[in-house]
């Protein structure tokens, strides 16, 4: 989701113009998949990338020629070192299952490292975290082609060779093809009654814990947390309706079991997922399951990074597990995850405008959640930097209570068209709080 700001917005890359060579077929390397896969559909195919241009060598261009693969709907590229940046251009073509036709080349956002756990945290230091592009939603597909080329020129500029830029690709590049699967039943196949009765499988225990974190707001196992029609306390906006993790079909066996909390929520950072805008609202749960699987299995995070997600129809979804009313520590804004929350709008908003419904949902969500912690959506607050490319570690930074991702890190996220709407979201959120 990140695009480093060079001049005004965005770093990008040189176009991949070389004709592809035909490498030997790459074997599908399966990542370790939890045993819940048998009861909760979904999978990840991981394919090592190969050299595409002998003149540039493997450090200058890698990829895969067209090939048949198992069904997938979301694609991204990962590499070994999370602290290494991919200076270059990643493009994919996919074949749609329903029509059998190939798409044109689509760009994948290469700068995604500013979404993640803060430096020096247990999640960041787990040894499992990888560097990664943003995930791209492509819909139900069964064929793929990818090309990755080193370079630092803007996408609109001329192609440039590795020799002239000095750019090299990160080591261990792999293509990740994610099948989000269908909606999850109660984990382990246990009905809600069995969860209450204590007849729990290992998967059911995790699902029960996720539901119990919201027990004050909804019955155990509820797919949604109901909304409120009016404020029940001064300076706290009415709670919006929120789809729970069970509601969007989270496989709770994928994530780490424990919940991690910060002290309070002083600020909200608004993001876009950079997954593209080609999804229907009925597909939003699938998109979120895909992002969740990509964050955990491909990138090595403990859970999905965002605290909440919002789709183009204005529906709000619970993100990282631990309870929607609680100060759950996320992995959304590198350096500023402590005492904040991350809200990601599904889509890409550099040039495309977000829907009014999605901006309204951000306002309603922040009016309620920030209100629980006494924060004024129109106000300012201080957060201590955990380290990043804008603010050194330990610096107290004055930020808007509702900020864009780019306010805490040099990035194009949440895209200019969404960022410019944050003023309206602040005003509406304050109004919902009765300010």
pLDDT tens, position by position, for the chain (435 residues)?
A: 444 333 333 333 333 333 333 333 434 444 433 333 334 579 999 999 998 766 555 678 999 999 999 999 999 999 999 989 999 999 999 999 999 999 999 999 998 877 888 888 899 989 899 999 999 999 999 999 999 999 854 433 333 333 345 678 999 999 999 999 987 554 433 444 444 444 455 567 888 999 999 999 999 999 999 999 888 889 999 999 999 999 999 999 999 999 999 999 999 999 999 999 999 999 999 999 999 999 999 999 999 999 999 999 999 999 999 999 999 999 999 999 999 999 999 999 999 999 999 999 999 999 999 999 999 999 999 999 999 888 999 999 999 999 999 999 999 999 999 999 999 999 999 999 999
Spell out the SS3 assignment of the chain.
Answer: CECCCCCCCCCCCCCCCCCCCCCCCCCCEECCCCHHHHCCCCEEEEEECEECCCCCCCCCEEEEEEEEEEEEEEEEEEECCCCCCCCEEEEEEEEECCCCCECCCEEECCECCCCCCCCCCCCCCCCCCCEECCCEEEEEEEEEEEEEEECCCCCCCCCCCHHHHCCCCCCCCEEEEEECCCCCCCHHHCCHHHHHHCCCCHHHHHHHHHHHCCCCCCCCCCCEECCCCCCCECCECCCCCEECHHHHCCCCCCCCCCCCECCCCCEEEEEECCCCCCCCHHHHHHHHHHHHHHHHHHCCCCCCCCCEEECCCCCEEECCCCCCCCCECCCCCCCCCCCEEEEEECCCCCCCCCCHHHHHHHHHHHHHHHHHCCCCCCCEEEEECCCCCCCCCCCEEEEECEEEHHHCCCCCCCCHHHHCCHHHHHHHHHHHCCC
The predicted structure's pLDDT at residue 53? 66
């Amino acid at each position: 989701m990140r695009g480093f700001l060079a001049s005004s917005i965005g770093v990008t890359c040189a176009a991949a113009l070389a004709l592809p060579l035909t490498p030997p077929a790459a074997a599908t390397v399966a990542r370790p998949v939890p045993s819940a896969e048998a009861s909760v559909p979904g999978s990840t195919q991981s394919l090592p990338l190969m050299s595409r241009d002998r003149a540039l060598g493997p450090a200058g261009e890698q990829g895969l020629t067209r090939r048949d693969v198992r069904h997938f709907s979301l694609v991204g590229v990962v590499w070994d070192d999370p602290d290494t940046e991919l200076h270059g251009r990643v493009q994919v073509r996919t074949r749609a299952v329903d029509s059998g036709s190939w798409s044109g080349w689509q760009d994948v956002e290469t700068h995604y490292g500013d979404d993640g756990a803060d430096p020096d945290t247990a999640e960041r230091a787990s040894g499992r975290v990888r560097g990664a592009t943003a995930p791209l939603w492509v819909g139900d597909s069964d064929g793929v082609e990818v090309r990755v080329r080193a370079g630092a020129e803007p996408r609109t500029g001329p192609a440039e060779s590795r020799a002239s830029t000095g750019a090299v690709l990160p080591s261990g590049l792999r293509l990740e093809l994610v099948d989000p699967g269908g909606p999850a039943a109660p984990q382990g196949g246990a009905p809600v009654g069995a969860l209450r009765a204590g007849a729990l499988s290992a998967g059911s225990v995790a699902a029960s814990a996720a539901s119990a974190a919201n027990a004050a707001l909804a019955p155990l196992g509820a797919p949604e947390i109901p909304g409120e029609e009016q404020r029940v306390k001064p300076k706290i906006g009415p709670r919006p309706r929120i789809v729970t993790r069970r509601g969007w079909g989270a496989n709770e066996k994928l994530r780490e079991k424990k919940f991690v909390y910060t002290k309070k929520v002083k600020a909200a950072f608004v993001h876009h997922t950079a997954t593209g805008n080609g999804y229907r609202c009925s597909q939003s749960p699938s998109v979120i399951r895909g992002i969740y699987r990509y964050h955990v299995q491909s990138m090595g995070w403990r859970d999905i990074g965002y605290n909440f997600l919002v789709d183009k129809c204005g529906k709000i979804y619970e993100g990282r597990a631990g309870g929607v009313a609680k100060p759950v520590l996320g992995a959304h804004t590198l350096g500023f995850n402590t005492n904040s929350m991350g809200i990601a709008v599904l889509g890409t908003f550099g040039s495309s405008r977000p829907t009014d419904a999605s901006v309204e949902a951000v306002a309603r969500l922040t009016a309620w959640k920030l209100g629980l912690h006494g924060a004024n959506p129109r106000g300012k607050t201080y957060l201590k930097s955990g380290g990043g490319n804008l603010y050194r570690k330990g610096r107290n930074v004055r930020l808007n209570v509702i900020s864009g991702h780019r306010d805490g890190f040099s990035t194009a996220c949440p895209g200019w068209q969404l960022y410019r709407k944050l003023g309206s979201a602040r005003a509406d959120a304050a109004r919902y709080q009765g300010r």
